[in-house]
Structure formats: structure tokens, C-alpha cells
Amino acid sequence: MKKLNLAIIGQGRSGKDIHGKYYISSDNELFNVKYVVDADEYRRQVSLERYPGCQVLADYSELFGKDDIDLVVNASYSEMHYSITKDLLLHGFNVLVEKPFARNQVECEDLIRISKEKGVVLAVFQQTFFAPFYQDILNIIDSGILGDILQVTIRYNGFSRRWDWQTLQKRMGGNAYNTGPHPIGIALGILGFDDNTQVVFSKMATSKMSSGDYDDYCKIILSTPNKPVVDIEINNTDGYTPYNVKLQGTNGCFKCNTTTCEYKYIIDGENPERPVQETFMQNEEGNPIYCGEKLIVHEVKGNYNGTAFDVGTAKLYEDVYKAIVEGKELYVTPEKAQKIVAVIETAHAQNHLPRKY
């Protein structure tokens, strides 16, 4: 396939260590790094060596007027996502913007409107949707092996602290905006991005673990008619979470992290229903006992080949490539990304954390 020329704005942790890592990997057969934009002189010099043949620029406005760019990747600071993406769209560029898509729904709607008016592709870098573990979750649910799913529990937790720009509300920092698009996206994906989904509870707090004024504790509970309740947590004060996603169904349960999974389930008919005994239970000697039995249970354990950061990134870029070259609809549409932002916006509206900076 013909390689497309791209420009990337930003060579920070995401721009260099996620996007850049893909560009220089054997997985990338689709894109050629034509321009690298970064305000830092050292990062520009490193880019010249990292992406042979590229040109380096200090400001993204230097891209305007160039006709050899098929895609611009916006890996700038979070609070710059909206303004820079809007500027790029108005200049007729196809854009892949890092998460979070924008600060609120109004900004998301503005970007979506402009992209349609200009006839360009607008994509959001939510690569978790292409990760093997997420795709397996959808397959497990669709298979019906767990029965009807009653509850989904999602934990992106840890026991750590940070003190960088992501700890500042004014920079769109915090667990909801920074990490949240991944677990919230998983939740909405499981719910089919249902328009009737509501944030029925949320709690945000700033613990003593971290600097700044951001939410390093974030709890969000989603409810959708006739669908499972979803409990999402992104918490820096939890050192004991044994999974990232857990499913509880009428026939079994499932848990996984990004690399492994296990689930146990029963099969209808293998454990015949027992009649209810309304009086007390006793053994042959007449002593009271608790009801108990050994169910016929099936258990499965497995491993995933790849993560969101390798397989997920490569597949997302392939999806964007096909959208540009073949006109195919994106798997992760900007409208889906907007719904993720809507949940984050609602949680912030329900929790007014004091600003210190």
C-alpha cells in the first residue's frame, strides 16, 4: 500500500513513546513521518535522528500551506487539543487528535461540524478499542457463555503519585481526563454507546498521595435501561486491585487485565435446579447444616497477544489510513469520543474540586 505523509505535533511521552514508537516499528507500513513539530530545540534535534528524512518545525502554524501532508497527529498538551485541532481542520487537514478529544461536548460538536464541512477525516486516538483484551471482552459477552451480564466493574487503579502538569485542573489534568477515556470508553463500548446511558453517581477527590489540585480518585457509575450497571474507578490510592475489567453474569464471571484473563461459568442443565426447602436444613443425625454442593463449573484461563500500546496503536492507525484512502467509516468515530467526554464533563459538573493553581 502507498505510504501517507504525516506530521506530528508534540514529542512528549505520547508523541514520542507511543506514536513515535509505532512510526519506527516494523508494524508501520502505512505512514511516513514528513514533519515533526515541537517547541523544544532538543526534541527537534532528536527527531531528525529518530525519523530519517523528516523536517522539524517549532510551531504547528508552519504546516499551513504545505500540500504534502495526508494526516496531522495532534499530540500536544491536553488543554491544546481543541484549539489546535480546530485550526488544523479549518486549514483542510485530516487530523488524528490524542485523547481527551476536548474539554466538553460543545468543543467536540464544534470539531465534528468543521470536519464535515471541510470534508476531512477527524479521528481520536483511543487505541484501547483495538486492544486484544477489549475485543475479547466483547466476544465473551456476545457469546452468551456468561448469560445476561448484570454488572461490569472497571478498575484502572494503582498506588502511586505524580507531580507533573497532569496534576493541574487548568491544564485539563486529572484521572478523569487523562486515564479516564480508556475505562470510560470500555464501559460505553460494552453498553453499545447507548444514548440513554446516564451518570447516576460520581465522586472525585484529591488525596494526599499527589501534588496539584486534580482528581487522583475518580468513581463513576453508569446506568442504562435493560443493560448492566457499570462501576468505573480510576484511583491512585488502591494497591490491591487484581483486575482491570470484571464481568458478572447470570451464568458466570470473567476478569482480565491487559495481558491475561480467566473466567468460570456453568452450563444450563448441568446443575439441575434444587427445590426450595422452607424449613431448616439438617444432616442425617438431625444437626443443623448450611446448604452446600459442588457445582459443575467450567474454568478457562488465557493470555493476550499484544496490548493497546502495540497491537491497538497499529490497528488504530490502519483504521485511520483506510478512512483517508478508502473513505471507510472509523471504528472509533468522533461521535463516540464525544460521548466519552460527556461522561467526564458530567462527573466534573457533579464534583467541584477547589482550584489551587
What are the residue ranges spanned by the domains of the chain? 4-125
Cell (9 digits) for 89 = 481542520
b/e per residue 18-42 (b: at least 16 CB within 10 A): bbbebbeeebbebbbbbbbbbeeee
The residue-averaged pLDDT of 2-6 equals 97
Q: What is the pLDDT of residue 180?
A: 98
Q: Which of 61-70, 273-282, 302-311 has the lowest mean pLDDT?
A: 273-282
Q: What is the pLDDT of residue 356?
A: 92
Q: What is the pLDDT of residue 221?
A: 98
Q: What is the pLDDT of residue 253?
A: 98
The answer to whether residue 292 scores a pLDDT higher than 90 is no
Cα 157 to Cα 240: distance, rounded to the nearest angstrom = 9
Tell me the C-alpha to C-alpha distance, in Å, between residue 284 and each of 69, 219, 278, 279: 82, 50, 18, 15
CB-based contacts of 51, cutoff 8 Å, min separation 6: 20, 23, 24, 33, 36
- Tell me which of 22 and 278 has the higher pLDDT: 22
Q: What is the pLDDT of residues 187-203, one digit of tens each?
A: 999 999 999 999 999 99
Nearest residue to 127 (alpha-carbon basis) of 103, 97, 153, 85: 97
> Beta partners for 8?
36, 73
Q: What is the pLDDT of residue 210?
A: 86
Average pLDDT of the residues of the chain: 97
The residue-averaged pLDDT of 10-31 equals 97
If you write DSSP's letter for every residue of 313-348 in order, what string do you get?
Answer: HHHHHHHHHHHHHT-PPPSS-HHHHHHHHHHHHHHH
Q: What is the pLDDT of residues 231-262, one digit of tens each?
A: 999 999 999 999 999 999 999 999 999 999 99
Confidence of residue 59 (pLDDT cuts 50, 70, 90): very high
The answer to whether residue 351 scores a pLDDT higher than 90 is yes
**Phi and psi angles of residue 354, each rounded to the nearest 5 degrees, phi first:** -65, 140
The residue-averaged pLDDT of 59-67 equals 97
The residue-averaged pLDDT of 139-155 equals 98
Confidence of residue 265 (pLDDT cuts 50, 70, 90): very high
Q: What is the pLDDT of residue 209?
A: 85
CATH number of 4-125: 3.40.50.720
The residue-averaged pLDDT of 100-106 equals 98
Confidence of residue 87 (pLDDT cuts 50, 70, 90): very high
Confidence of residue 1 (pLDDT cuts 50, 70, 90): confident
